[in-house]
C-alpha cells in the first residue's frame, strides 16, 4: 500500500494523504463506524498516541473510540497486547505479523469491533536491523486482519504523520471492502 516514492498510496479522490492532515480520514472513520454501530481500538508503537489523538479530535468520537494502548517498549507488546513472545523473538517488533498481532490484541483487549496498529522505525537512525521509514500498519476486524508494509521517507515527524494517515486509510479501505 505504498507508492513508488515510499509514501502511502492514496485514492485520487482522497486529498488527505497529499495535504498531510489526518483529521479528514479520522472523521471519515468515525462517521462510518458510528453509522454501523461499531467500535475501534488502537495499538501504537512508533506513533506514540498520534492515531488516538487524530481519532479523538473528531467530535462524537466517544461513541466509537474505545481506547488505545501505546506499547512503545517491546516487552509491553506482549504484556499489554498479547503479542506472542516467540513472534517478537523471531522477528523483532518491526514486522508485519507483529503489527497484525498488535491490532488483534487492541481489538480483543479493548473489546472493539476493529483494532488498528502501528509499529516501525521513525528514525533518525535504524533500529532492530530495520532502516528508518520501515513501518507496518494493520487492521483487525470481525472478518479478517490485514497488514501493510510501508517504506516511508522524510524525517521522524514525517514518518510518524504518514504512518497515522496510512493506518487510517487502511481502515477506510477495509470498511469499504467489508460492505461489498
Q: What are the boundaries of each domain within the chain?
A: 20-179
CA distance 65 to 77: 20
> Does the pLDDT value for residue 130 go beyond 70?
yes
Neighbours of 5 (CB within 10 A): 8
Q: What integer is the mean pLDDT of 36-58?
A: 97
Q: Residue 177: what pLDDT?
A: 86
Q: What integer is the mean pLDDT of 82-96?
A: 98
Q: Residue 13: what pLDDT?
A: 31
> Does the pLDDT value for residue 19 go beyond 60?
no
Under CATH, domain 20-179 is a member of which superfamily?
CinA-like (3.90.950.20)
Q: What is the pTM of this model?
A: 0.88
Q: Residue 2: what pLDDT?
A: 33
Amino acid at each position: 500500500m505504498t507508492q513508488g516514492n515510499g509514501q502511502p498510496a492514496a485514492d485520487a479522490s482522497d486529498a488527505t494523504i497529499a495535504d498531510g492532515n489526518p483529521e479528514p480520514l479520522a472523521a471519515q472513520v468515525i462517521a462510518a463506524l458510528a453509522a454501523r454501530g461499531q467500535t475501534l481500538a488502537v495499538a501504537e508503537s512508533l506513533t506514540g498516541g498520534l492515531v488516538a489523538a487524530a481519532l479523538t479530535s473528531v467530535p462524537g468520537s466517544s461513541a466509537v473510540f474505545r481506547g488505545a494502548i501505546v506499547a512503545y517498549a517491546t516487552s509491553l507488546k506482549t504484556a499489554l497486547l498479547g503479542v506472542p513472545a516467540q513472534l517478537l523473538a523471531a522477528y523483532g517488533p518491526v514486522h508485519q505479523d507483529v503489527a497484525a498481532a498488535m491490532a488483534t490484541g487492541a481489538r480483543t483487549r479493548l473489546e472493539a469491533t476493529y483494532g488498528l496498529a502501528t509499529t516501525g522505525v521513525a528514525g533518525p537512525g535504524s533500529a532492530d536491523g530495520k532502516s528508518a521509514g520501515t513501518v507496518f500498519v494493520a487492521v483487525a476486524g470481525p472478518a479478517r486482519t490485514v497488514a501493510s508494509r510501508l517504506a516511508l521517507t522524510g524525517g521522524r515527524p514525517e514518518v510518524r504523520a504518514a504512518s497515522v494517515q496510512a493506518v487510517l486509510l487502511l481502515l477506510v479501505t477495509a470498511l469499504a471492502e467489508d460492505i461489498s
